[in-house]
Structure 1
Amino acid sequence: MVTRTFKSDQFKESLPELMRSGQYAIFQDLPFLDGELSISIEAFRKRFGHVEIPVHEDFGYLMNQHLDTLTGGRSVRSTIRALIDGECDHWFPSQSAVCSYQKLPDAIQRRLNFLPGLEEIDGNPIYKIFYAKEGMRTLLHFDQDHRHVLLRQVCGRKRVVMIEPRHHEHLLPIGHNSTLNLSLLKDQEKDRLYSSVSAEVVELAPGDLLYIPPLTWHYVEYLSTGFSIGHRFCQNPMNRFLSENLHQTGRLQNISVLYLDEKNVSEEEMGYFVELQNLFSKPFATGFEKYFALDALVEEIYRQMFGQSRFLAMGIQELEQTGFLRLIKAGRLYSV
């Protein structure tokens, strides 16, 4: 699926079509902050350095502790200036502090330029902020909220790798994260992997706006230190139920894709959705019983829709279950 590039005057008419087709796209020349097309990191620091944000451990480090990636580690309050100046790095074992997938501070949101037509699609999008230093990488993952994403590159450059949900088995996922540590692969090895799963690779410059369809696997490399802002929008009632009430796995991810377009959900697919709702509403003695019952139903629905699921590496299924059971024990989802 090749990424298309549009100019700013094409945004309003093109976005609904992209949402229907699930096509990646980059928009250019859209003013994004105080009417500007791009901004240097020095200017961003000067303008917003006093603003408080949560900072946390580099997720690439957390990759070495697979189960911790399910909770995202811990965060500490700091400021944009301290984060850029490196003052937060020593707070974490990896010596790498980042701000990823955190709520965009109001002081910045108030100065964002509106994207033409987005308010008509979703009048209340969720804004997230992302910051990391040159050389840092995210995990290969899909987002658990099942929303459409527009990613604005504010300053710095980054590479984004996108892979369709149907390739999940080859990515060896635990929950919504792949266990493939792409940072350990040589460029030639990455190229072979990307080719085998039809990955789309794009490089974002300051001012670029990337559209990412819901539930897409993606991996980000920071080519230079930089900030970006994510707009998350349009979550229909069925995907809201699936994202908020069920543990996210590659199997549920692929089932959920079928409900993104409410108008084209088949009678059979609606029947499966009702089964999940009914089982979720059923009383269970413990959260563990509820987890295993729902997981078994998701597995059966996946088999009916796509064929028998496969775990292509030893221990992946067991690690995934162990992680979810830890979350239940900690009071996260299905706890009774």
Structure 2
Amino acid sequence: MRTLDNIDRIPTPPAQQLLDDYVLRRRPVIITDLFADLPIRGIDTAERALEEFPDLPVVVQPNYMTSLLERGTTGETRRTTLGQFLAQIEADPDTDDYCIEYDTPPQMDAFIQPTEHCRLIDPDDVRPLMFVAAPGNFAHLHYDGDQRHVLMYQVFGRKRYTIIDAREGRKVAPLSDPSMQRTSSLFLQNFSEDDKLAFLEYANAWDCVLSPGETLLMPMMAWHYVEYLDASMSVSYRLGRNRYTRFLAESVPIPSPYLQRLAVEFIDEQALTPQHLAAFAMLQDVSRRPYPTGEDRARALDACCMQLCAELDPQWSRAYTFYDHQRRESLERVVEPDGAPGADLPTPEAPAPAPAPDWEGTDLVSLTPETMVLMPLGDVGGKPSVILARHGRLELRLTIDAARPWLLDLLRTVSDGAVLSVSDLAQACGADVAEIRPVLAQLHERGWVAVPQGSEPAPV
């Protein structure tokens, strides 16, 4: 076996350096000693794992791709123990059963704990998973739709990892079926070694063998293919997400190549441009519209992702494969002539705004549902500013100056969707009712804030 062996191996860097140099740049890296001081480092063979964790509960299933092709189903899962599964592997090294993406059992907590490197971006949004398989098994070329960077620790055995950046996604010929677009049509597991290396060079891939004690950073939304070279066990920490990538993962139902390509634009919140923020506002707007069915909503969002990909990266307006052509042809039927997604779907008429109140302390206020507050975006005349967008269009820029330092807190508070009284809103942002009254009047005049009727104020 030959690999490109083109991923850097480094000692554990400071967490901020890992974030800046690798996570935000979508660059894989192998950390050689991230968990070297924890008991898990001593579990570096299957025999040691069997001594420590014979009764560790695991769930196994047949390799989903092999089972799907041979039997037309992904196969049934079954519960067993690590000891029983390792005995099965020893008795039948060719078994295609494996344990994948299984929540790491609490019995392992005393042996491995997430370091600060595992808590980047959002420390409360980390998910640990476990993998065990026999030599010769594989993970078909695919990408994960949860939009998380992954730190994969190799406990015992060796695995080959091949990683392809999301921007190269068309080269892997994703399937066109909406339920399978995270899956490549290429069977890398059947390629000859020469053909495999030639393809990886064409796709600008990263390729390595991960050994016990090493940890691989796999970038969010990257295509990856895995070969089990030995009976192997891994533990992964799926890192938390920012508010943009979490929204894309949870609110866009079809994990298409367009969503994949678009998502990597939002990895670094500090690098977002007005074009990025307008694109995100458009996705939010399309997501909030009412649709006859969930399928209609999913297709409208997929069409929106296709349109925004072409705007942010014109190369993505060109089809690489017949699958691309099919996908574009299907989605263009749900795009309006002016470029707004959802032409064949009903767009509701906006209700007439309630009369402008005097914004006394007891008046209620909330943000209208089609609006979005974009947080600080550079400076205007040396002063920080906030941009507001509606229906995907940038409409208003408000400057945060010494006269109203509470403005950002006010906008954050109303953007949470709560219904508040004016006095509670003023208290929440540290201002007087008289100070915030002209801002509320300005926002109401533009249709940004509403006066809810028949609502109860939210507790503060």
Structure 1 vs Structure 2 CA RMSD: 2.8
State the 1:274 CA deviation.
1.2
Matched, 1:20 2:20: no
Which structure's CA Rg is the greater one? 2
Q: What is aligned with 1:162? A: 163
State the 1:37 CA deviation.
5.1
Measure the CA separation in 1 of the matches of 2:325 and 2:48. Answer: 45
Measure the CA separation in 1 of the matches of 2:269 and 2:40. Answer: 36
Q: 2:302 aligns with which of 273, 291, 295?
A: 295
Tell me the SS of whatever aligns to 2:138: coil
State the 1:31 CA deviation.
1.9
Q: What is aligned with 2:282? A: 275
- How many residues were matched structurally? 312
Matched, 1:313 2:319: no
State the 1:118 CA deviation.
3.9
Q: What is aligned with 1:47? A: 52
The TM-score with structure 1 as length reference comes to 0.84
Calculate percent identity across the aligned residue pairs: 24
Q: What is aligned with 1:235? A: 241
Matched, 1:252 2:266: no
Measure the CA separation in 1 of the matches of 2:232 and 2:226. Answer: 12
Cα gap change, 1:228 to 1:100, in 2 (>3 Å)? same
Matched, 1:3 2:7: yes
Letter in 1 for 2:49: F
Consecutive unaligned residues in structure 1, runs of 5 or more: 322-336
Q: Is the 8 Å Cα contact of residues 162 and 207 (structure 2) preserved in structure 1?
A: yes
Letter in 2 for 1:149: V
State the 1:108 CA deviation.
1.1
Letter in 2 for 1:288: E
Tell me the SS of whatever aligns to 2:260: helix
Letter in 2 for 1:84: L
Q: Is the 8 Å Cα contact of residues 172 and 316 (structure 1) preserved in structure 2?
A: no
Q: What is aligned with 1:78? A: 80
Measure the CA separation in 2 of the matches of 1:206 and 1:122. Answer: 27
Cα gap change, 1:64 to 1:230, in 2 (>3 Å)? same
Measure the CA separation in 1 of the matches of 2:294 and 2:114. Answer: 43
Q: What is aligned with 2:432? A: none
Measure the CA separation in 2 of the matches of 1:26 and 1:305. Answer: 31
Letter in 2 for 1:56: Q
Q: 1:225 aligns with which of 227, 231, 240?
A: 231
CA distances 1:226-280 after superposition (whole Å, capped 9, x unpaired): 1001111130011001011211111111101001111111111111111111111
Letter in 2 for 1:4: D
Letter in 1 for 2:162: V
Q: Is the 8 Å Cα contact of residues 63 and 139 (structure 1) preserved in structure 2?
A: no
State the 1:306 CA deviation.
2.0
Q: What is aligned with 1:187? A: 193
CA distances 1:274-305 after superposition (whole Å, capped 9, x unpaired): 11111111111112221222222122112222
Q: Is the 8 Å Cα contact of residues 2 and 24 (structure 1) preserved in structure 2?
A: no
Tell me the SS of whatever aligns to 1:173: coil
CA distances 1:16-63 after superposition (whole Å, capped 9, x unpaired): 222232221111133265263552111112211212122122134146
State the 1:84 CA deviation.
1.5
Tell me the SS of whatever aligns to 2:246: helix
Measure the CA separation in 2 of the matches of 1:260 and 1:163. Answer: 17
Cα gap change, 1:12 to 1:236, in 2 (>3 Å)? closer
Measure the CA separation in 2 of the matches of 1:244 and 1:317. Answer: 25
Q: Is the 8 Å Cα contact of residues 156 and 206 (structure 1) preserved in structure 2?
A: yes
Measure the CA separation in 2 of the matches of 1:315 and 1:66. Answer: 28
Measure the CA separation in 1 of the matches of 2:15 and 2:302. Answer: 40
Letter in 1 for 2:111: R
Q: What is aligned with 1:329? A: none
Q: 2:272 aligns with which of 251, 258, 265?
A: 265
Measure the CA separation in 2 of the matches of 1:113 and 1:32. Answer: 11
Consecutive unaligned residues in structure 2, runs of 5 or more: 176-180, 331-460
Tell me the SS of whatever aligns to 2:139: coil
The TM-score with structure 2 as length reference comes to 0.62
Counterparts of 1:120-199 in structure 2 under 5 Å? 122-124=122-124, 125-174=126-175, 175-199=181-205
